[in-house]
Amino acid sequence: MKKIDDILKQDLKDISKMNIDELRNDVKRMANISKARIEKMNNENIYSQAVNKMQKRDNNYEKIDSMNINQLRNEYKREYQFLKSKTSTVTGARKIINKMEKNIPQYSSFTQEEREKFWKLYGEFNERNAGLVKSVGSKETLGYLAKVTAEPHTKKTIMKNLELLVREQYEKNQESDNIDDDVSISKYF
């Protein structure tokens, strides 16, 4: 039986060369480890975005034996992404939670449901405004999201308020960059 580290080190070329039985065995091994991690997270009552995302998908553990090669490759990819996620382990999830509580004071008072809502909104916002989030910074964006999530508004209003706050910060950053450029140019004239 392969070690999980060896399975996770395989590249696409290795996976595409596998016969169906080899691939099925690797996927089963990965699925068992994923299942154990999810159970441990649930037993510890720790919220993890990775676990939450994995649990919302179909439970394919029992279906692995009946999957064709393409379905197994897709399941391999799904299991791989979960196992490589920082928040798929108790230690990793705790580190992220501690970091969030340190950087965003409101986060520690969020309920499990509010944390799920928070991460779902952040994911959607980041997907639509990746460039904006990157230029302002994810830490700042998460802080703004924590502020607007605490307000009792609809999802649409929260997203609109978040976008306004992040765009405002972006414009402030642009203005300060322009001022810095003017100062550095004036040295040469």
Q: Would you state the pLDDT for residue 176?
A: 67
Separation between Cα atoms, residue 69 and residue 150, nearest integer Å: 46
Q: Would you state the pLDDT for residue 135?
A: 76
Query: Over the stretch 86-104, which tens digit does the pLDDT of each residue have?
Result: 989 999 989 988 888 888 8
The pTM of the full predicted model, rounded to 2 decimals, is: 0.70
Residue 188: is its pLDDT beyond 60? no
Query: Over the stretch 12-50, which tens digit does the pLDDT of each residue have?
Result: 888 889 999 999 999 999 999 999 999 999 898 888 888
Q: Would you state the pLDDT for residue 57?
A: 67
- Reading the block at residue 173, the tokens are 């950053």
Higher pLDDT, 46 or 175: 46
Q: Please, is 66 exposed, middle or buried when counting C-beta atoms within 10 Å of its C-beta (0-12, 13-18, 19+)? A: exposed
CB distance 126 to 166 below 8 Å: no
CA-angle at 83, arms to 7 and 35, nearest 5°: 100
Q: How many CA atoms lie within 13 A of 141 on its CB side?
A: 24
Compute the average pLDDT of residues 115-134. 80
Higher pLDDT, 188 or 163: 163
Q: Would you state the pLDDT for residue 183?
A: 46
Would you place residue 171 in the very low, low, confident or very high pLDDT band (cuts 50, 70, 90)? confident
Compute the average pLDDT of residues 141-167. 81
Which residue, 85, 73, 69, 74, is CA-closest to 34?
85
